[in-house]
Amino acid sequence: MTRPPLADALDLQPHPEGGWYRRTWASPVEVTLPDGRVRPTASLIHFLLPAGESSAWHRVASDEQWIAQLGSVRLELGGDGEAPGDAESYVVGLDLAAGELSQALVPAGVWQRTRATTSDALVSCLVSPGFSFDDFELIDSGSPTPS
Residue 58's CATH number? 2.60.120.10
User: Considering the domain boundaries, does residue 118 fall inside one?
Assistant: yes
Closest by CA to 126, choosing from 57, 26, 7, 38, is: 26
Q: Give the residue with greater pLDDT, 49 vs 139.
A: 49
* pTM assigned to the model: 0.90
What pLDDT score was predicted for residue 146? Answer: 36
User: Considering the domain boundaries, does residue 146 fall inside one?
Assistant: no
User: Considering the domain boundaries, does residue 38 fall inside one?
Assistant: no
Local confidence band at 117 (pLDDT 50, 70, 90 cut-offs): confident
Q: What b/e string do you get for 55-67 counting C-beta neighbours within 10 Å, with b at 16 or more? A: bbbbbbbbbbbbb
User: Considering the domain boundaries, does residue 131 fall inside one?
Assistant: yes
Pairing label, strands 112-116, 72-77: antiparallel
pLDDT over threshold 70, residue 141: no
Structural domains counted in the chain: 1
| Across 11-20, average pLDDT | 96
The four Cα atoms 99, 100, 105, 106 give a dihedral, to 10 degrees, of: 100
User: Considering the domain boundaries, does residue 35 fall inside one?
Assistant: no
What pLDDT score was predicted for residue 41? Answer: 98
pLDDT over threshold 70, residue 144: no
Share of the chain above pLDDT 90, in %: 88
Question: Domain range for residue 58?
Answer: 5-29+44-138
Query: Rounded distance, CA 122 to CA 118, Å?
Result: 13
User: Considering the domain boundaries, does residue 133 fall inside one?
Assistant: yes
| Across 75-85, average pLDDT | 94
| Across 8-21, average pLDDT | 97
Local confidence band at 95 (pLDDT 50, 70, 90 cut-offs): very high
Query: Mind listing the pLDDT tens digit for each residue in 36-57?
Result: 999 999 999 999 999 999 999 9
